[in-house]
Chain A
Amino acid sequence: MIPVLLGVSLIIFVLFNLVAGDPTAVLLGKNATARQMAELRETLGLNKSAFAQYLDVVKSAFTFDFGRSWATKQEITHMIRQGAYPSLCLSIPAFFLSTVFSLIISLFVAYYRGKGIDLFIRFLCIAGMSISALAYILFFQWFLAFKLGWFEISGFEFGFPDFVPYIALPAIIWILLSLGPDVRFFRTIILDEIYQDYVRTARAKGLSELTILMRHVLRNAMIPIITYVVIQLPFLILGALLLESFFSIPGLGGMTLNALNSSDFPVIKAMAILSSVMYIIFGLISDILYTVADPRVKLK
């Protein structure tokens, strides 16, 4: 875990500190004097040796102290804390519902495996995955919110239940977007189990197909499903970049895209570090959950 964290910091350091070049000219504009530039370099810590700068990146991965934004001059930690709430308001319910729906649908198609309905839903999944996420968002926002007026077109309000009307449509689009890949993946996992010997034994002793599916197969399929679900959790913090920007939700995804438009390097750098750290931590959590789902697995 620590070597990976050091590696991630290294990649981010190489990208943002070595490849990106000197930011002072960008920050101060064309008329900056050499003295101003030197002072700014000093405050940004760019006069330190490369190794010291690398250590700064590593340190920020532990302390979450990312300095200030270039565009808004705010503390980035403060901005992240502010943006996390709207992001999570959207991502947690959407993620939970999409996972439940996908599981139900994939159990359903696994039950009817090889039949027409299975083929049809599989094709629907692939076809759905082949349409750009942008097209879904644009179309539904235009059709359901603008044309029919069923939903709020954009915006956000803090506090439950005020935010519900604002996240309803983005959440529906999120669920639609995740159904394709999720159902395909869960179905593969479930079918992996269905041809195992213990399933044949269960059938031989006269259990109904439904009981086998719900009680035996699902339990055994849980390990890969848990990994798949847990490993996605860090992305919930990031929210949905595109959804947040289309629906003007002031979350972390929207913040990242704003930073992108204003070339606000420290914010992008902070989000890259934060999301990687989250990813590594949740990878560890999913390893621990293995042992809960399957006592045979022992942590090394």
Chain B
Amino acid sequence: MKKNSIWKDAFKTLSKDKWAMISLGIVLIYSLIALLSATGLIAADWAQEVGTSNLPPSAEHFFGTDIFGRSVLTKVIRGTQVAMSVGLATSLIAIPIGVILGALAGYFGGWVDDIITWLYTTFSSIPNIMLLISITMILGKGLFAIYVALGATSWVTLCRLIRGEVMKHKEREYVQAATAIGGGHMRKLFLHILPNVSHIVIINTSLQFQIAIKSEVILSYLGLGVQGEPSWGTMIDDAKLELARGVWWQLAGATIAMFLVVLAFNLLGDALRDALDPKLKGK
């Protein structure tokens, strides 16, 4: 009997799941938009006037224009670039820290575990919003501070999950077999155990990505985020004053753009968890 790997099985389950595939499609489209915007191929002229001030949505201007007559759609696209970059940078900071610390703690136990557990307990004891505000305020406004702040808060969950999984795996037969043929600690940990717990990284990243996007919007709204460039958060901030005058499209544009991608990441994360971690199915 031929046995498929967990990844192949998972891929088969996922490809049958209509909602998961739609979500994946949405995530890919957003990534493409962000990439095209970052390379300057689209939305590079976001600051340009395309019509009169505060035009409502029409066929010509899909989301209308803002107070300076700039296209809200182009600003939404520019904001997509900011949001996706924050998600990506946060993952790039959080994954290595979370995986390495979690793996070391779970594998070696003892004082290594004590120190790492202390470290993540400490980080999770400061309410996230206070840590985010403190770091961004101290590092100064801008995207860099947001990357660091979100990276610093989001490795904790991953670290705890990886630690737990590695702990379970280190007693399994395949690790004992690796010991028997003379495998060293690093070989066993990084070559044998980590590939077997890597599905946790994927599931967690999908969920952390949307948390990062939501946090960026709030931090940008508070004026801590990207400066001199549109972001969904600053667009919502503008809308605060415009709404009383009936100008709702800037709020709608930013909210819809964010809703779609966050929903997609949420559904995708759930589907990935069902496919890769069958014992949690349907929860």
Given contacts A132-B236, A134-B236, contact A263 B127 (CB under 8 A): no
In the complex, the answer to whether A126 meets B127 with C-beta atoms within 8 Å is no
Which residues of chain A are near B28, meaning CB under 8 Å?
none
Q: Does B191 lie at the interface of the complex (its beta carbon under 8 Å from any beta carbon of A)?
A: no
Contact pattern, A 189-205, Cβ under 8 Å of B = 1, otherwise 0: 00110000000000000
Which residues of chain B are near A188, meaning CB under 8 Å?
283
Nearest chain B CB to A233's CB is how many angstroms away? Answer: 12
Which residues of chain A are near B224, meaning CB under 8 Å?
260
Which residues of chain B are near A269, meaning CB under 8 Å?
134
For the complex, what is the distance from the CA of A275 to the CA of B134, rounded to whole Å? Answer: 13
In the complex, the answer to whether A135 meets B223 with C-beta atoms within 8 Å is no
Q: Does A117 lie at the interface of the complex (its beta carbon under 8 Å from any beta carbon of B)?
A: no
In the complex, the answer to whether B283 meets A142 with C-beta atoms within 8 Å is no
Which residues of chain A are near B263, meaning CB under 8 Å?
126-127, 130
Q: Does B123 lie at the interface of the complex (its beta carbon under 8 Å from any beta carbon of A)?
A: yes
In the complex, the answer to whether B251 meets A280 with C-beta atoms within 8 Å is no
Contact pattern, B 51-75, Cβ under 8 Å of A = 1, otherwise 0: 0000000000000000000000000
In the complex, the answer to whether A275 meets B130 with C-beta atoms within 8 Å is yes
For the complex, what is the distance from the CA of A207 to the CA of B210, rounded to whole Å? Answer: 43
| Among listed A11-19, A39-47, A286-294, interface-contacting one | A11-19
| Among listed A26-34, A66-74, A97-105, A234-242, interface-contacting one | A234-242
Set B121, B214, B251, B262: member contacting A138, Cβ < 8 A: B251
| Residues of chain B from 176 to 207 with CB closer than 8 A to chain A in the complex | none
| Residues of chain B from 122 to 140 with CB closer than 8 A to chain A in the complex | 122-123, 125-127, 129-131, 133-135, 137-139
Which residues of chain B are near A7, meaning CB under 8 Å?
118-119, 121-122, 125
Q: Does A121 lie at the interface of the complex (its beta carbon under 8 Å from any beta carbon of B)?
A: no
In the complex, the answer to whether A15 meets B138 with C-beta atoms within 8 Å is yes
How large, as a class, is the contact surface on chain A? 35 or more
Q: Does A217 lie at the interface of the complex (its beta carbon under 8 Å from any beta carbon of B)?
A: no
Nearest chain B CB to A157's CB is how many angstroms away? Answer: 23
Given contacts A4-B121, A126-B263, A130-B266, contact A272 B255 (CB under 8 A): no
Show the binding face of B for A, using Cβ within 8 Å. Answer: 118-119, 121-123, 125-127, 129-131, 133-135, 137-139, 210, 214, 217-218, 221-224, 232-233, 236, 239-240, 243-244, 251, 254-255, 258-259, 262-263, 266-267, 270, 282-283
A-B contact list, 7 entries, CB within 8 Å? A8-B122, A11-B122, A138-B240, A142-B244, A242-B218, A263-B137, A268-B133
Q: Which 3 pairs from chain A and chain B are nearest by CB? A: A7-B122, A130-B263, A130-B262
Show the binding face of A for B, using Cβ within 8 Å. Answer: 3-4, 7-8, 10-12, 15-16, 19-20, 126-127, 129-135, 138-139, 142, 146, 188, 191-192, 234-235, 238, 241-242, 256-257, 260-261, 263, 265, 268-269, 271-272, 275-276, 279-280, 283
